[in-house]
Amino acid sequence: MSQQNPQPTGHYARTNDPQEPTSQAGSAQPDVGSRLNAPAPSTGVPDVSPSFQRDHAAADGSGHQPEEQPRVDLLEEGDVVDREPTEQHGTAELGSESDSGDSSEFPSADLVYGRIPITDVSPVVEGGRFPATAIPGEDIRVSATVFREGHDSLGASAVLYNPQGHEVQRVTMTPGAPGTDRFHAVLRPLAEGHWSFAVEGWSDLYDTWRHAAEIKIGVGQDVELMFKEGQLLFEAASKESSRSAAEAQAFEDAAARMVDTGLPVEARLAAGTSAEIKAYVSERPLRDLLTSSQRFPIEVEREAAGRGAWYEFFPRSEGATWDAEAGRWISGNFTTAVEALDRAAAMGFDVAYLPPIHPIGRNHRKGPNNSLEAGPQDPGSPWAIGSAEGGHDTIHPDLGTFEDFDKFVAHAHELGMEVALDLALQASPDHPWVAEHPQWFTTRADGSIAYAENPPKKYQDIYPLNFDNDPQGLAREVLRVVELWISHGVDIFRVDNPHTKPLWFWEWLIARVREEHPNTVFLAEAFTRPAMMQGLAKAGFQQSYSYFTWRNTKEEIEEYLEEVSHETSSAYRPNFFVNTPDILTEYLQFGGPAAFKVRAALASTASPLWGVYAGYELFEHVARPGAEEYMDNEKFELRPRDFQGAVDRGESLAPYITRLNEIRRDHPALGDLQNLTVQSTTDSAIVAYSKTKTVERDGHEVKDTVIVVINTDTHATREATVWLDLDSLDLGDHDFNEDGSFWVDDLISGASWKWGTHNYVRLDPYIEPAHVLNIRRNVK
């Protein structure tokens, strides 16, 4: 269920003590400083060797300042060095104390800018107070603004550090749009843990020389001076300790040709600008004035935190039977619900999500379709938790025992699935908490306990919790409940309405739980203001429901995909649920079977996380009049379904869903969030986007690209030209046919076409509303 109630704001730091949630602002000071070059020698060659480093904010937060150490060799791309990231700066003797009257350090250590300014680094969450998030093998897009004074060339690198603080990856960043000074790169952590990254800026000695030499020598200006500078530069490069013998020899040969006046000027210049030299300096640039940002944290969590397909069902409906004599349905249980696990696994789902499985209150119990009057046979809403039988630490008697639940979870694990349990922090009027801890609820002016409301919706059968009266006691109790279910094999919690609880509580609880149980994953069921949804992500929720459910037009879809894949992806991971027991959108109500295909294709390919509520595969679309809610809502009554019969009659979407999940497993490009590129189309209903990722298979790098083209108009055939940004597809020479085209294979229909920059498509929603295309690589 979803409520959208405004909540007071505040910030509490994570603490290891469940009894004392505290408020701490915290701070993170960037490494700062600058470097002063000694005067350049008369040859004009920059000082490329002497360099010094200082750490102004130790990565471990200790504040310890390591001693300055000289660095003799030029740092090179690909080097693995175990050192703290620092702002690089040197020292210059400006005069004795008696000359200046000032013994303070120069330049001062409290400067913001380093020698090469580095600003606006991403992904950084609130200046590094919270970590950016990732999963093993995920590509992280790193960006920064790097600039300098004057006209000399500069470069930038993104550097990844493992949980032990060792550098494990260094990537030269690519300049962005001209004039923006933005640089971009991709880093890829390979294991779970507390990682970090930094951005380095540096003076590009080779590109500065090459640019000036080509211009000046081209017009006959300072010819011998430029060659002399080139000689000194290449000689210094040849002496770098990490250069191979072949590289060192190439630089030595280039240095010799720089000053060989017996050669034509053109040949001397060509020796310093050859493809071989450019390749060497591209791989390991010649750098000076090296400046580094501080290290920024990245929390790399297990794969289920960021990738997965979820299937939601009510255990009480699975295997429910009709008792003709009593005139009522008899609830299913964990034993009969095993069939639902088999069904979900056969469709390729990774997570079986269960609504609350606890006893249900009778006081103010709701009847069918959320009616206020419940009959004696009505089961009530599972979210109205608590009765005389118990509360959040108890299983509803109709569903079975803890032993039955343990067998259910064990069967899920045998199928390669995990069980996610709903964590709904609320109580029915009959919950033991109400009598034992009335301070955990809100008492109104008339003495009654406030029930839940989301005007105009009212939930008289549910009392919200109040975290202001006894925060320590309530926090300890919730922690106890969560740890109880973890002990029974639950590692994933879908949290109901987390936005109606204070953020400090979630930050504290999730950190406390993951400290002892690092595999635990929390999904936020929060349809509310963006600030709160993103705040929950920063507080520790690894994934969240999203507004994808209501983004149905081309413009809405394109805008939202850009937002979640590029603007908020540093911490917020959207789970694209196509429906929920609470939500049946008008698009599904009136779009026919094609609408169900469209939304499933979009959700499963655009996000690494997607979810389906049972009944979706049966095209259930009848809503309660005037509402986006199912008629005969399963929240309030049992809904047994004939899933297999629908498959046998050809009236089920299960085969299509199964194919989508197979495609997700086979194509690693679909497992990342940030690699999505929206492509252009000429039709107002056709959406196109692509995802590309390079992976290693059998010791070889393999590029995987998926292009998705979808007709969002479920009632009419649409035709369009799809214009592709070929750079985003990372195509190589061997991927093109002789005529300049490349092959795409439709992973849904099996058809193949030759494509290029612009491509004609025709999508009939009554036949197939979507292309899911894979680029065929290495055709030559």
Query: One of 496, 507, 629, 768 is an active-site residue; which one?
Result: 496
Query: One of 288, 525, 617, 620 is an active-site residue; which one?
Result: 525
Radius of gyration of the chain (CA): 31
Is 496 in the active site? yes
- Of residues 299, 774, 298, 306, the one with CA closest to residue 576: 306
In order of 591, 711, 731, 762, 763, the CA distances from 771 in angstroms are 19, 9, 20, 10, 8
- Cis peptide preceding 175, ω within 30 of 0: no
- Complete DSSP assignment for 483-534: HHHHTTT--EEEEESGGGS-HHHHHHHHHHHHHH-TT-EEEEE--S-HHHHH
CB within 8 A of 753, min separation 6: which ones?
743, 744, 746, 759
Cα separation, 39 vs 413, whole angstroms: 68
Q: How many other C-beta atoms can be found within 10 angstroms of the C-beta atom of residue 4?
A: 15
Task: Map residue 636 onto helix, strand or coil.
Answer: coil
Cα separation, 516 vs 343, whole angstroms: 33
Cα separation, 387 vs 273, whole angstroms: 80
> What percent of the residues of the chain are helix, what percent strand, and what percent coil, each to the nearest 5?
30, 25, 45
What are the beta bridge partners of residue 719? 762
Token pair in block for residue 479: 């922690």
- Complete DSSP assignment for 682-749: SSTTEEEEEEEEEEEETTEEEEEEEEEEEE--TTS-EEEEEEP-GGGGT--GGGS-TTS-EEEEETTT
Residue 596 has φ and ψ, to the nearest 5°, of: -70, -35
Q: How far is CA 181 from the centre of its chain?
A: 25
Contact 31, 293 (CB under 8 A): yes
Is 404 in the active site? no
List residues with catalytic annotation: 496, 525
